[in-house]
Amino acid sequence: LCCFVFQVDGFLTLLFGLASINTLTVISVTRYIKGCHPERGHCISNSSMTVALVLIWIAAFFWSAAPLLGWGSYTDRMYGTCEIDWAKANFSTIYKSYIVSIFICCFFLPVTVMVFSYVSIINTVKLSHALTGLNDPTDRQRRMERDVTRVSIVICTAFIIAWSPYAVISIWSAYGHPVPNLTSILASLFAKSASFYNPIIYFGMSS
């Protein structure tokens, strides 16, 4: 029973964590389309967002269910948490392939997409002001550019700060380097804390 419980706990923890990452990535893409390619804004509709939400959860379910089916595994990390058993990658090519794959698909690619999207938005806002032909932009333009830049930087920075320690120690452990349990749990809790402050960033800083 105990084994079953921590398997379920590990599955749900990873499921909701990946769903959160996927959601942030989709939000950055929708903002990129709206901000940089407004002529394609019609692509963002209720139906397309419904499809995006379904894909978000399908992808999260796939990576979370894989360890239950033998591609990767979950383990009890003590302190009341369960997560992927990164250390097993030392003894199995299959486990290592899972960890490398999830690192690339669920951390590296989302970070790349988010950074590209928000940097593009910042550049588009600056370019649009330059094309107005005004050497002295209005207070409204300066305020808009400042707000877009601030929100974009905070979103990307918060995401990278929250998930980087967890991603780094996971890969570190996967390649045979020991990681203390306390370090692992702190990084895990730090990553999960993103679910608390992301709504504050999105709804508090962006109109």
Sign (positive or negative) of CA dihedral 150, 114, 57, 186 = negative
pLDDT at 207: 62
Which residues are registered as beta bridge partners of 76? 82
Name the band, by pLDDT with cuts 50, 70 and 90, for residue 133: low
Average pLDDT of the residues in 172-188: 77
**Domains of the chain: which residue ranges?**
1-206
Residue type, 198: N
Residue 88 token pair: 């097993």
* Residue whose pair of structure tokens reads 């369960």 in the numeric block: 82
Query: What is the C-alpha to C-alpha distance for residues 171 and 22, in angstroms, rounded to an integer?
Result: 20
Average pLDDT of the residues in 51-75: 92
Name the band, by pLDDT with cuts 50, 70 and 90, for residue 112: very high
Q: Is the pLDDT of residue 148 over 80?
A: no
pLDDT at 2: 62
Instruction: Tell me if 67 sits within 8 A of 156, measured CB to CB.
Output: no
Residue 199 token pair: 């709504």
pLDDT at 137: 58
* Residue whose pair of structure tokens reads 């990658």 in the numeric block: 89
Identify which of 103, 76, 79 has the alpha carbon closest to the alpha carbon of residue 89. Answer: 103
Name the band, by pLDDT with cuts 50, 70 and 90, for residue 128: confident
Query: What is the C-alpha to C-alpha distance for residues 68 and 64, in angstroms, rounded to an integer?
Result: 8
pLDDT at 24: 86
Average pLDDT of the residues in 2-26: 84
Q: Is the pLDDT of residue 96 over 60?
A: yes
Look up the pTM and report it. Answer: 0.81
pLDDT at 17: 86
Q: Where are the alpha helices (DSSP H) in 37-138?
A: 46-65, 93-103, 109-130
Q: Quote the CATH superfamily of domain 1-206.
A: Rhodopsin 7-helix transmembrane proteins (1.20.1070.10)
